[in-house]
Amino acid sequence: MGIGFFVMVMTNFIMNVAAIAISLPVALVIAPYLGVAPEVIFYASLVTAGMPFMLLIGAAPNAIAYDSNQFTTGEFFVYGLYASTILLAVLAFAVFLLWPMMGMPVKI
């Protein structure tokens, strides 16, 4: 979950491909030392990298939506914070409950 949170924060400031290129190699190397299956870290990183909700520079659709002048930057951030919290809750459900129910290991 920590790497998912880290990638989610990073992907709001830089493009998602760059966030994955920076964080995923390090996370996959330290996964065995943490006792976590590498597939779980891979899944958590990729899911959170594709959803930059808080800042306008996270993705081009964010800037396009902001250009409609229907909301302010502050409103975008607040609602993005709510969406990011929901994203982490769904990710926690998927990793801790759904993943083991499908028979895939979370821990090594």
Report if residue 83 sits inside a domain.
yes
Cα separation values, 44 from 12, 62, 75, 91, 100, Å? 16, 22, 27, 7, 14
Report if residue 107 sits inside a domain.
no
Report if residue 108 sits inside a domain.
no
Report if residue 18 sits inside a domain.
yes
Model-level pTM? 0.84
Cα separation values, 105 from 6, 36, 76, 87, 98, Å? 22, 9, 37, 22, 11
Report if residue 61 sits inside a domain.
yes
**Higher model confidence: residue 97 or residue 104?**
97
Domains: count for the chain: 1
Q: Each residue of 41-50: pLDDT tens digit?
A: 888 898 998 8
Report if residue 47 sits inside a domain.
yes
What is the extent of the structural domain holding 15? 2-101
Instruction: Kindly state the average pLDDT of the residues 49-76.
Output: 86
